[in-house]
Homo-oligomer: A and B are copies of this chain.
């Protein structure tokens, strides 16, 4: 298989209700598109959620890091490319490029996924699955952004609290991965987004939360432009952590 045929390319347009007050695509919507592309790309290669579910397996997103020079503007066409960078026994790295209307790469993303057994919730050995077929999709394409990093948050005084509602819940009964992104970005006052933009955004998904869970948001200001956020459910259990770097 040529390296090119291992890359999936998907077309989008920045819809009016998917942009923020600056007219730029929101990070939550971009995250949604990236995860959809991961779904399309893996489904086309026999590793989609629908197929996996028949074997009682599913993909679980562990890390996501997005880094951008600019966000698509309202009504602009853009593309997302995705490919598999590495496959380990328990994790696989999937990367993305975001390409603007003029064909210029304006950003990249990295994601880390595990596969679990839906009954036992235990991880699956990816290299043993389908006789190791997944390694055929590994692609040598550059992704010139840093890997997701370790995020630590010291603050014990929550910036905000909310209760997970109907709109937050996905088909698995969990608060959906994209909603966390929106809730975390809502911690920052709108003035931030008037003078800065997000250069890098990271998520580490640690545990699931459910309808009715009280989510608390703890935030460390590491420096003027870098914030680390931890989300806990019901007072103590960490659900996810995030790093937001403005420029």
Q: Write the residues of chain A forming the contact surface with B, with a CB cutoff of 8 angstroms.
A: 15-17, 19-23, 26, 28, 32, 35-36, 39, 49-50, 74-75, 165-167, 169-173, 176-178, 182, 185-186, 188-190, 193, 211-212
**Would you mind naming 5 contact pairs between A and B with Cβ atoms under 8 Å apart?**
A17-B177, A20-B166, A22-B171, A23-B171, A190-B211
Number of copies: 2
Smallest CB separation, A195 vs chain B (Å): 13
B36 touches A15 (CB 8 A): yes
Q: Among the listed B19, B75, B173, which residue makes an inter-chain contact with A170, where contact means beta carbons less than 8 Å apart?
A: B19
B178 touches A17 (CB 8 A): yes
Smallest CB separation, A27 vs chain B (Å): 10
Q: A21 to chain B: which residues have CB within 8 Å? A: 166, 169-173, 211
Interface centre among A16, A169, A212 (most CB of B within 10 A): A16
Q: Which residue of B lies closest to A48 (CB)?
A: B75
Smallest CB separation, A69 vs chain B (Å): 21
Q: A185 to chain B: which residues have CB within 8 Å? A: 166-167
Smallest CB separation, A188 vs chain B (Å): 7
Q: Which residue of B lies closest to A28 (CB)?
A: B167
Smallest CB separation, A189 vs chain B (Å): 8
B36 touches A16 (CB 8 A): yes
A32 touching B15 in the complex, CB below 8 Å, given contacts A50-B75, A165-B186, A211-B190 = yes
Q: A171 to chain B: which residues have CB within 8 Å? A: 16, 19-23, 74
Q: Among the listed B23, B39, B173, which residue makes an inter-chain contact with A16, where contact means beta carbons less than 8 Å apart?
A: B39
Smallest CB separation, A175 vs chain B (Å): 10
B17 touches A32 (CB 8 A): yes
Cα of A189 to Cα of B117 in the assembled complex, Å: 30
Q: A212 to chain B: which residues have CB within 8 Å? A: 190
Q: Which residue of B lies closest to A182 (CB)?
A: B167
Smallest CB separation, A10 vs chain B (Å): 12
B176 touches A17 (CB 8 A): yes
A190 touches B166 (CB 8 A): yes
A170 touching B16 in the complex, CB below 8 Å, given contacts A186-B165, A190-B211 = yes
A36 touching B17 in the complex, CB below 8 Å, given contacts A167-B28, A169-B190 = yes
